[in-house]
Structure 1
């Protein structure tokens, strides 16, 4: 059966957004970044993004997970995303090697600073440093995150490298 509701979770630098975009294009299903659920993005550079209230965030997220097909991606494993875990046909956990994620964080930051990669935030050294902290924290909390996911949904797929990601994209039943 072709999954129509997919939740992708992984650390910063694990490839969640790239993977979600590729699945979205191939499956013709809208994808949503959880960071963009938390933050109301502003196109005007003079006005910074505004964090949604808990109620606004929850209402927006509820609309997303109550349609027939979606791809949601983000590192979040907090209570407000539980509806996604419960409703997902499959949850994909990107368990990419810690050092590969570090390399990707550094590469991304350099590309953003050079203006060669689009970003929803100002790529400051403060954010750059936080990404390393988030990466380390994710590694420490990985087993707890997996337990939480499995509590709400046993349809869990763990992908641990680029080859596994490619095999998943190519092997998923599209009919």
Structure 2
């Protein structure tokens, strides 16, 4: 396990799992959202798909890595590059609760985030969750292409 892609939908526990796995293996981890949305002095800027892949390739040159994020078209190359793909398939009811709890923690200043935590973003997170469930069949079909390196977890504590 030198190149690990942790994939899942919002609030599935990807970041928590990536941090734990990174600490245990001493392999650096990267949030794919931070690659998609680059922090500049002027604020967050969305990189083009080509820029995203360039950043990923640069990181790949250093050797082992852990990437975590949702499934995006712009970084499909990671499925091929990874020697292990962990699909964090946390139950829907748990993800819905986590989204709301995360929102409350962000509003109270307990948890930091790289985006504007407001009702609009809260609604988007629930919409992305619903979109994933509506298109789950397509995602599952994609995973079948890499079944020899996919590990499915239903809770980030299982690893």
Superposition TM-score tier, normalisation by shorter sequence: over 0.9
1:67-100 deviation per Cα after TM superposition (whole angstroms, max 9, x unaligned)? 320001111242x322211121110001111010
Structure 1 residue ranges (4+ consecutive) displaced by more than 3 angstroms after TM superposition: none
Q: Distance in 2 between matches of 1:4 and 1:22?
A: 15
Which of the residues 53, 64, 69 maps onto 2:59? 64
Aligned equivalent of 1:167: 158
Q: How does 1:1-175 map to 2 (within 5 A)?
A: 3-42=1-40, 47-78=42-73, 80-152=74-146, 154-161=148-155, 165-168=156-159
SS of equivalent residue, structure 2 residue 145? helix
Structure 2 residue ranges without an equivalent (≥5): none
Q: Distance in 2 between matches of 1:64 and 1:150?
A: 26
Structure 1 residue ranges without an equivalent (≥5): 169-175
Q: Normalised by the size of structure 2, how large is the TM-score?
A: 0.92
- Relative distance call for 1:13 and 1:167 in structure 2 (3 A) is closer
Does the CA-based 8 Å contact 1:65-1:83 persist in structure 2?
A: no
Higher mean Cα deviation, 66-75 or 129-138?
A: 66-75
Does the CA-based 8 Å contact 2:17-2:157 persist in structure 1?
A: no
Structure 1 residue 34 displacement after superposition:
0.9
Q: What's the RMSD between the two structures over aligned residues?
A: 1.5
Q: Normalised by the size of structure 1, how large is the TM-score?
A: 0.84
Q: Which has the higher strand share?
A: 2
